[in-house]
Amino acid sequence: MSHGYHNPGREHLAKTELLGSGFVLAVPTTDITGMRELWDQEALPVTLEPEDAGFAVILYGLDPDGYELMFEQFHE
C-alpha cells in the first residue's frame, strides 16, 4: 500500500526524475507555526501549507538540496 501525493509537481518528479525524488523525511515538532516561519526566513520552498491531517497538523517543504520534509505537530 502506498500513499498519494499532495502536490502534482512532486508526484511527477518522484516518478520521472532522479532517485530520491519521492523520499519524504517526517520530522516531529511541537511548533508547526515556528517551522513555517523558519522556512520563510530561510527562503525555502513550501510544498504544502500547514494542514490538519487528523492525526497531526502537517507542513511540507524542500530543504536546500531539494529533498522534501514533512513536519508533524501531533494533536494532544
- pLDDT above 90 as % of the chain: 55
Residues in CB range of 29: below 8 A, 6 or more apart? 35, 71, 72, 73
Cell numbers 501531533 label which residue? 74
Q: Is the dihedral of CA 44, 45, 47, 53 positive or negative?
A: positive
pLDDT average, residue stretch 58-76: 91
Residue 48 pairs in a beta bridge with 60
pLDDT average, residue stretch 69-74: 95
Q: Distance of alpha carbon 17 from its chain centroid, rounded? A: 18
| pLDDT (tens digit per residue) in 25-60 | 899 999 999 999 999 999 999 999 999 999 999 999
Predicted confidence at residue 13, as pLDDT, reads 72
Cell digits for 8? Answer: 502534482
Q: Of 59 and 64, which is predicted with more confidence?
A: 59
CATH number given to 23-74: 3.10.180.10
Put simply, whether the predicted model's pTM sits higher than 0.95 gets the answer: no
Q: Domain extents for the chain?
A: 23-74
